[in-house]
Amino acid sequence: MAYFQSKPVAGRHFLQIPGPTNVPDRVLRAMDNPTMDHRGPDFGLFGKALLEKIRHVFKTTSHVVIYPASGTGAWEAALTNTLSPGDRVLMCETGWFAHLWHEMAGRLGIVADFVKTDWRRGADVAQIEQRLREDKAHAIKAVCVVHNETSTGCTSRIDEVRRAMDAAGHPALLLVDTISSLGSIDYRHDEWGVDVTVAGSQKGLMLPPGLSFNAVSAKALKASETARLPRSFWDWKPMLAANATGYFPYTPATNLLYGLDAAVDMLLEEGLDNVFARHDRHAEATRRAVRHWGFEIQCAEPRHYSSSLTAVRLPEGHSANALRATILERHNMSLGNGLGQLNDRVFRIGHLGDFGDLQLIGTLGGVEMGLRAAGVPHQPGGVQAAMDYLSGNA
């Protein structure tokens, strides 16, 4: 069966959650190639070229480690390769995924201080700087920030986090989750002084789930020499040793790597700046539709608006989950649900990855029809507001 649906529905399913995203035909065709010998000479040539090429997406000249895992695995790899039991880290509770990373740190024996937010903005840079200035003994070994919080549609300013760390004169490592921003929102591993960048395959990289990444600075590699958290599968050392000749220390996800090769080619052919501008444009069109309907955007700080997704707050007394169910039933479209404290309070529109103007208008049209069918009070014409913006900003 090519695609499971509980009942036959005509037309293409609109997968507009904030990831996994729609996989382009070019990537699917690449993955459809026969699996090659991952110990043979052809794979070594392929792997070495791919490992070099992927650095451009992270904007780094350093190593990028690729795991056959979800982004959660890359979280664990970032922590276990750089930290020791009892180490302190500073984290920012910008939403559900920051909360989960914090929970993981605790389970690994790391003491994680949490900078709280209201889940309506990005990381509190002033609080980060203050906490680091207060840490005279430099007990904090790392600052961990989610670049784009998928649960809220808020993007943290990593360049400002780096400046705050430098202003405080603190030597902590900077670990950044880019799972829902890499390939969709401008990101600069080297320029922003990031030590470990965490990423996943299923969002801006336009692949199915199954690959995750650590981009690693020289400072992070140095820290890994003395880090004492247990690690085996996640250990950078054997990975980097094998990667030097294009190979992996264990069986890689070969066909996903074929897809990654094609996806990176697509991003670089379009040009990363053009990719980011396309995402910015679709995000603004979406926000104009949401405002026209009369709803609040979950992200309350315009400087922190996400270009990957928009989380929409429904009026009190209306169920976001019921609206999503209506839209799926009537219009064959999946939207993201609210997570954690936002459950049933918001729905999330994903507008990232392989995505163009017509897909956006179809998505917003499905939302507007669903609002009417579900009886959610709104001002009709949000789709037109988005079209007016897109037409005037080609």
Annotated binding-site residues for substrate read 348
Separation in Å, CA 103 to CA 93, 111, 230, 373: 11, 10, 17, 39
Instruction: Please give the structure tokens belonging to residue 45.
Output: 């040539």
Instruction: Please give the structure tokens belonging to residue 369.
Output: 């029809």
> How many degrees, rounded to 5, is the angle at CA 123 between CA 338 and CA 101?
60
φ, ψ (nearest 5 deg) of residue 209:
-60, 155
Is residue 368 packed enough to be buried (19+ CB in 10 Å), middle (13-18) or exposed (0-12)?
A: buried
CB neighbours (10 Å) of residue 296? 15
Closest CA to 321 of 342, 351, 292, 304: 342
Q: Which residues are annotated as a binding site?
A: 348
Torsion region of 60: left, alpha or beta (phi above 0 gives left; psi -120 to 50 gives alpha):
beta
Name the one residue in this structure whose structure tokens are 């900077």.
174
Separation in Å, CA 23 to CA 74, 119, 198, 373: 21, 30, 21, 30
Euclidean distance between CA atoms 52 and 39, whole angstroms: 19
Handedness of CA 66, 67, 73, 78 (dihedral sign): negative
Q: Are 30 and 259 in contact (CB under 8 A)?
A: yes
Euclidean distance between CA atoms 220 and 25, whole angstroms: 37
